[in-house]
Amino acid sequence: MMKMMTRVHLFVTIGIVGLAAGVVRSSGPVDLTGWDPKAAASYLDTRAAFWATWPNAQRDHGTFCISCHTTLPYAMARPVLRQALGETAPGGAERRILDNLLTRARGYRDMEPFYPDQTRGIPKTSESRAIESVMNALVLVTRDSESGHLSADSQTALSVMWSLQMRTGPQNGAWTWLNFGYEPWESPNSAYFGASMAALAIGTAPDGYASNAGIQDNVKNLRGYFTREFDKQSELNRLMALWASGRLSGMITPEQTSALIARTFAMQMPDGGWSTAAIGHYTRQDGSAIDTNSDGYATALATLALQSGGVPASDPHVARGLDWLRHHQSPTGQWVASSPNKDRDPATEPAKFMSDAATALAVLSLTHPKG
């Protein structure tokens, strides 16, 4: 693992949004000791650039789809790394992701869905429209959080997102989500993940957006979905809710929060990390043996969610998890995680998707304000 030889602190502002009170901003030191943010940025930039040109990702009007595993977490983590590295503006890969997303968001009425019903079967059009609306909103408000003001593009994206919120059925309050049978982002269990992304978007949006009177019924329905469906979720999905609740309060109850934190502590591995196979309760579709050791994705998500949920970095469980991350960054910059769905050839691009997400979440966890 690459280690920084000097201790660097970065003060960043993270918005923590209360449903009634609006935006409350707090800041604290971010410790960059013991891991290499430059290497992480290089890995993430390379993967974002790959995705933009990968034939499987290409869509109409010269655009490409935004992925839950590579480009969405990239768009959330790269601005933090930009601050840490003292970069004055987004680089080429980051600009391309944002420009592509803006093209699709501004022309959403004319854009084909990521996966049309006509070629992929019903209900892929509605699933595609919903997932894209949530991702558009989250990426755009993440960009706006740097300036502190909500842009017209973000307001439109949020409005489109709300228009696709479910109003009936088991997903009432959430969004229908892509289901290709792939965990943890495109499966029958992924609507809870999608709702967490939407909650992060609402809670991240500047200008006190979460307190906007016009969205309170929508937020109430979203909160109802989170609390109603919480007990049916895997620990992985519950950790997504805990992460989101740090941005938008009231997503889960205090009792649910306390119980989840206790369970997460209990599931920590002896080496200080967490296992995706364990917190997601996964078995592979091809019958191959799944990796049950600590991995980058589960450890990054657990430590990020715990910190977002109010557990300090000084807590022994969180501290050991962060230490695991510092000691398991690869020389090439990424944190490694393997597919919970099948035994993939490491040389193939899909084999890297879990590591893409793991690396972005590790960056967000390691740079979470410590005070």
Q: Could you tell me which of 334, 330, 332 has the C-alpha nearest to residue 361?
A: 334
User: What is the domain-level CATH number for residue 342?
Assistant: 1.50.10.20
CA dist., res. 83 & res. 249, Å (int): 26
Q: Is 18 a residue whose pLDDT tops 70?
A: no
CA 211 vs CA 202, 260, 309: distances in Å:
10, 27, 20
Q: Residue 369's pLDDT band (boundaries 50, 70, 90)? A: confident
Q: Residue 5's pLDDT band (boundaries 50, 70, 90)? A: very low
- Residues in a beta bridge with 280: none
- The domain of 285 spans 9-366
Q: Is 7 a residue whose pLDDT tops 80?
A: no
The answer to whether residue 1 sits within a structural domain is no
- Residues in a beta bridge with 25: 15
Range with lowest mean pLDDT among 6-10, 217-221, 239-243, 321-325: 6-10
Instruction: Please give the average per-residue pLDDT across 98-118, as a whole number.
Output: 96
Instruction: Please give the average per-residue pLDDT across 261-284, as a whole number.
Output: 97
> What token pair was written down for 47?
């993967």
> What token pair was written down for 365?
């966890």
Helix spans in 269-315 (H): 276-280, 296-308
Report the mean per-residue pLDDT for the chain. 92
CA 319 vs CA 126, 218, 302: distances in Å:
42, 37, 12
Q: For residue 181, count other CB atoms closer than 10 A to its CB.
A: 9
The answer to whether residue 371 sits within a structural domain is no
Kind plus residue range of the DSSP H or E element containing 119: helix 117-120
Instruction: Please give the average per-residue pLDDT across 338-362, as a whole number.
Output: 96
Secondary structure class of 234 (helix, strand, coil): coil
| CB-CB contact of 130 with 191 (8 Å) | no
CA 115 vs CA 100, 133, 318: distances in Å:
17, 14, 39
Q: Residue 29's pLDDT band (boundaries 50, 70, 90)? A: low
The answer to whether residue 206 sits within a structural domain is yes
Instruction: Please give the average per-residue pLDDT across 326-334, as a whole number.
Output: 98
CA dist., res. 103 & res. 73, Å (int): 19
- Position with higher pLDDT, 5 vs 293: 293
Instruction: Please give the average per-residue pLDDT across 48-69, as a whole number.
Output: 97
pTM (2 decimals)? 0.91
Instruction: Please give the average per-residue pLDDT across 62-76, as a whole number.
Output: 97
DSSP β-ladder status, 22-31 and 9-18 = antiparallel
Q: Cα 192–127–282 angle (5° rounding)?
A: 45
Instruction: Please give the average per-residue pLDDT across 124-140, as a whole number.
Output: 98
The number of folded domains in the chain is 1
Q: Could you tell me which of 46, 98, 131 has the C-alpha nearest to residue 349?
A: 46
Residue 103 identity:
T
- Residues in a beta bridge with 13: 27
Residue 194: which residues within 8 A CB-CB, separation 6 or more? 130, 131, 134, 174, 175, 177
Instruction: Please give the average per-residue pLDDT across 157-186, as a whole number.
Output: 97
Residue 183 identity:
E
Residue 173 identity:
G
Residues 198/229/179/53 CA torsion (nearest 10 deg) = 30
Cα dihedral sign, 94-206-33-236:
negative
Which pLDDT value is given to residue 371?
57
The answer to whether residue 265 sits within a structural domain is yes
CA dist., res. 79 & res. 96, Å (int): 14
Q: Is 260 a residue whose pLDDT tops 90?
A: yes
Which pLDDT value is given to residue 8?
30
Encode pLDDT of 139-161 as tens digits.
Answer: 999 999 999 999 999 999 999 99
Q: Could you tell me which of 321, 351, 326 has the C-alpha nearest to residue 338?
A: 351
The answer to whether residue 4 sits within a structural domain is no
Length of the chain: 371
Which pLDDT value is given to residue 199?
98
Q: Is 4 a residue whose pLDDT tops 50?
A: no
Q: Residue 15's pLDDT band (boundaries 50, 70, 90)? A: very low
Residue 50: which residues within 8 A CB-CB, separation 6 or more? 349
